[in-house]
Chains A and B, each alone.
Chain A
Amino acid sequence: GENVEQHPSTLSVQEGDSAVIKCTYSDSASNYFPWYKQELGKGPQLIIDIRSNVGEKKDQRIAVTLNKTAKHFSLHITETQPEDSAVYFCAASTRLGYSSASKIIFGSGTRLSIRP
């Protein structure tokens, strides 16, 4: 079945440095790749997403790149700040048949810590 692998599981970076999280997916039909941020005691929230017809997308300090041939995508956070400390999940999605719903499969998460 579909599978999404995420690395690393934990990441510690100095404040102001960049952080990179990488994911690979198995289902070649996947066409939507969101990233979610989960703060302690909260549900995950979408921070950025990319669709399969785009190779890169940027939103301020956050960027995502997608390589469909290799079936991998990455999250890049530049100029990291203390509030970036959280658990980050990548996900891959395949449309469900006739509907526009998507079956979204998540990676195992990366706990990002920003050192002051």
Chain B
Amino acid sequence: GNSVTQMEGPVTLSEEAFLTINCTYTATGYPSLFWYVQYPGEGLQLLLKATKADDKGSNKGFEATYRKETTSFHLEKGSVQVSDSAVYFCALDNFNKFYFGSGTKLNVKP
């Protein structure tokens, strides 16, 4: 089947710290992979995506590389800001259906 597993939160970091949020997946075929961000009280916004193995998605300083050999799509950012505080969802799209991870809450303190 298809599923996404994310590291449990919350993750609390100081401003300018390095961020990693782990995401692994199981899927049949060749899914596309996504990271979405959800700010309090809002819907999901696409952060970045990758459609095939070894692709690197990047946006606003965040990066994630599609690793087929380890079935992973870990999210990284070199220097987080307070404004990055949100819930981050890893997701895969396989055969036109989305499967989401449980979300990881990130708290960044000044």
A and B bound? Answer: no
Chain A residues with CB under 8 Å of chain B are: none
Residues of B within 8 A of A (CB): none
